Structure 1
Amino acid sequence: MLRYDVDELLDQVNDFTTFAEDLRASSWRLTNKELRFMEAVMHFQGELTSDAPFIEAVEDAHS
């Protein structure tokens, strides 16, 4: 992750968020195993989203 600049990391978070939202939209047809995977993805996506302001603050402090 350290080889990416902040803008690239935030773009990746946005891409992952889009993936997670698409997965959630299809949740009605997932198997139990796929639902557990979706729950893990949603948890990870939530963690990434909550860390985005911190990443920006650190970048701003070191710019």
Structure 2
Amino acid sequence: MVRDDEDGWLVRPSDVSKQTTLSRTTIWRLRRMNQFPAPIRISPGRKAYSQGQIMEWLRGRD
């Protein structure tokens, strides 16, 4: 995890898969339908997700 001062912690896509129990492909499909938080580009070849947005998404699923 990496700290992002604006949104809190940033987590890798593999960690998001573990937290949500969704495959990376399912997350990608949900993103295409605007049903999952967008990743943040942290360098040309790397993306991460805001931990706060992921937790909010998980709470919204209940």
Give the TM-score category using the shorter length. under 0.3
TM-score by length of 1: 0.23
Give the structure with the higher percent helix: 1
> Higher relative contact order at CA 8 Å, sep ≥6: structure 1 or structure 2?
1
TM-score by length of 2: 0.24
Give the structure with the higher percent strand: 2
Question: Which protein has the larger Cα radius of gyration, Structure 1 or Structure 2?
Answer: 1
